[in-house]
Amino acid sequence: MARSMRDIKRQIKSVQNTRQITKAMEMVAASKLRKAQEKAEASRPYAEKLKEVVGSIASGTTGVQHPMLVSRPVKKTGYIIITSDRGLAGGYNANLLRKVTQTLAERHASKSEYGLFVIGRKGRDFLRRRDYPILEEITELSDTPSFADIKSIAYSAVGQFEEGKLDEVYICYSQFMNAISQVPTVERLLPMEPQSAAKPQPGTLQAGYEYEPSPEGVLEVLLPKYAETLIYSAVLNGKASELGAKMTAMGSATKNASKMIGDLTLTYNRARQAAITQEITEIVAGANAQG
C-alpha cells in the first residue's frame, strides 16, 4: 500500500508540473493573440484603400483590362496553404488540412492539375508525406510576421498566374472569428472579381483620381500589390487563428490537469486512510492476542 501511495504522489507532482507549463503557455498565447489581432487590424486600411482605387479604375474607366481580372480555361490551379510551424494548437492544423485535402479530391482528378504553395512546417510535412506537389514553401514565421517574411511566395504565386503557368489561385487559411472559433476557409484569389467603385452617400463628396501615366499603367502596378496584400492579410488572420486555438487548447489542458490532480488527491487520501485503518486494526488485533 505504501508503494502505491508513493506512486500516486509522484504522479500528482508530475501533473502539477504539466499544469504549470500549460498555464504559462496559455498566458503567452493570450498575450501574443492581442498583438496578432492588432497587426491584422492595422493592415486593413491599406487593403481597403487599394480596393477603392482598383475598383475606381476597373469600373470607372472604359476599356481597361488586365490579365488578373480575366478568367481563362483552367488547366492548372495553385493553392496557397497557411498552417503553423508548431503543434499544441488543438484542431487548428488538422481541420484546415482536412478541408484542403477534401477540396483537392473534389476538384481535381490527378495531382498534375494543381500545385501547392505552403506556409508552415505542419502543412509542409503533412503534404510532403502524402506526396502532394509542393511548388514552394516557407517555414519558421514569427508570431508577428511582416510582409517581407512571405513576399517571395506571394510574388511567385501572383507571378505564375500572370505568366499563364497557373490559371487559378486559391488561398486556404483559418478565418479568425474569436479565440474559440476558427473557420477553415478556401477562397479564390485569382482571377480577381472586378470590384465596383463604392457609391458616395448623399451629401458627401466623392474623391476624383487622375492617373499617371495612365489608368492601365496604374492598374498594372496595383493589382499584383492588391493580390499580395490579400495573401498577407490571410497570413495575419491565420496567425491570429493559430494563437487563439493554442490559447484555447492550453486552457483546456490546464483545466483537465486540475481535474486530474483532484481525482488523484482523492485516490491518495483514500489509500492513506485505508493504510491507517489497516495499521490500527493490526495494533488492536495484537493487543487482543496478548490480553
- Which among 85, 73, 176 has a CA at the least distance from the CA of 123? 85
Reply yes or no: is the peptide bond before residue 202 cis, omega within 30 of 0: no
**pLDDT tens-digit profile of 123-165?**
999 999 999 999 999 999 888 888 899 999 999 998 999 888 9
More confident residue, 54 or 226: 226
Mean pLDDT in residue range 224-244: 89
Least-confidence region, from 150-154, 186-190, 220-224: 220-224
Q: Give the residue, 226 or 211, on which the prediction is more confident.
A: 226
Topology of the domain covering 27-195+210-248: Pyruvate Kinase; Chain: A, domain 1 (3.40.1380)
Backbone angles phi, psi at 85, to 5 degrees: -90, -25
Q: Are the C-beta atoms of residues 78 and 135 closer than 8 Å to each other?
A: yes
The predicted structure's pLDDT at residue 136: 94
**Is 60 exceeded by the pLDDT of residue 2?**
no
CA distance 91 to 242: 10
Q: What pLDDT, on the 0 to 100 scale, is given for residue 201?
A: 57
Q: Give mean pLDDT, residues 184-189.
A: 91
pLDDT of residue 285: 80
pLDDT at 1 over 60: no
- pLDDT, residue 291, reads 61
The residues with which 114 forms a beta bridge, in sequence order, are: 77
Only one residue has cell 495553385, namely 78
Predicted local confidence at residue 206, as pLDDT: 59
Residue-wise pLDDT tens digits, 41-100: 777 787 777 777 777 776 655 556 677 777 889 999 999 999 999 888 889 999 999 999
Partnered with residue 188 across adjacent β-strands are 170
- Determine phi and psi for 145, rounding to 5 degrees: -70, 150
Cβ–Cβ < 8 Å for 79, 167? no
Quick one: average pLDDT of 94-113? 94
pLDDT value at residue 64: 60
Predicted pLDDT of residue 60: 57
DSSP helix/strand/coil, 192: coil
**Alpha-carbon span 42 to 229, nearest angstrom:** 12
Q: What is the pLDDT of residue 126?
A: 95
Nearest to 182 by CA among 286, 99, 76: 99
Q: What's the pLDDT score for residue 18?
A: 94
pLDDT at 59: 65
Residues in a beta bridge with 119? 82, 138
The mean pLDDT of 269-277, rounded to a whole number, is: 86
Q: Is the pLDDT of residue 199 over 70?
A: no
